[in-house]
Amino acid sequence: MSVTTAVALAIVGALTAAAWPALLAHRRRRAAALGGMGATFSLRELRALDRQLQAAAANELARLERELAAYVTGMRVGYVLAITDSVDGVALELSDGQRLSLSGVAQRTRRLISTRATVDLLRPALLERDGVSYRLLLRGHRGDEVELHARRMVLALPAS
């Protein structure tokens, strides 16, 4: 072996020895961050799995929104029996046993719903996605309409 080769191997060995603790520390941090998944899956596989889970969550949200819109525009939707006020929203108890909870509703809109519901039988008539919020149209028997916007909607099914 030549002197040049010996010097080159000595330099590579010294650099490897210096970098080895940092490499091991990086691997330990990555394994701790990934939990038990780091030993089972590669980072590429975890990213692909994350993309699939994000797509599945988006599809499920779209399906739930379609079902809620179909319920609201359907014939079996009930009229508002009671209105329960909460800190940031309102819950509408419907005559068919459903409960429609809306969060992020303005205080003025909550008062308007309460006033109109005592005068006319309001019934959900239209639901649309409006950017990051939902637009719900309540229509009375006399044709009066109340439009409200909510950040989040939950339809609770009656206990059977």
Answer yes or no: is 72 within a domain. yes
pLDDT bin (cut points 50, 70, 90) of residue 4 is low
28 and 80 part of one domain:
no
87 and 137 part of one domain:
yes
Answer yes or no: is 98 within a domain. yes
Q: Domain containing 1: what range?
A: 1-40
72 and 33 part of one domain:
no
36 and 71 part of one domain:
no
Answer yes or no: is 90 within a domain. yes
More reliable by pLDDT, 5 or 148: 148
Q: How far apart are alpha carbons 107 and 121 in whole angstroms?
A: 21
85 and 140 part of one domain:
yes
Handedness of CA 108, 114, 117, 123 (dihedral sign): positive
| Across 5-9, 108-112, 119-123, 152-156, least confident range | 5-9
Q: Is 135 exposed, middle or buried (0-12, 13-18, 19+ CB in 10 A)?
A: middle
Answer yes or no: is 71 within a domain. yes
For tokens 């006319």, what's the residue? 120
pLDDT tens, residue by residue, 36-77 = 665 677 888 888 999 999 999 999 988 888 888 888 888 778
Does position 22 have pLDDT exceeding 90, yes or no?
A: no
Q: Which run of H or E residues covers position 80?
A: strand 80-85
- Going by C-alpha positions, the residue among 149, 151, 153, 80 that lies closest to residue 114 is 80
- Which pLDDT value is given to residue 158? 64
137 and 71 part of one domain:
yes
148 and 74 part of one domain:
yes
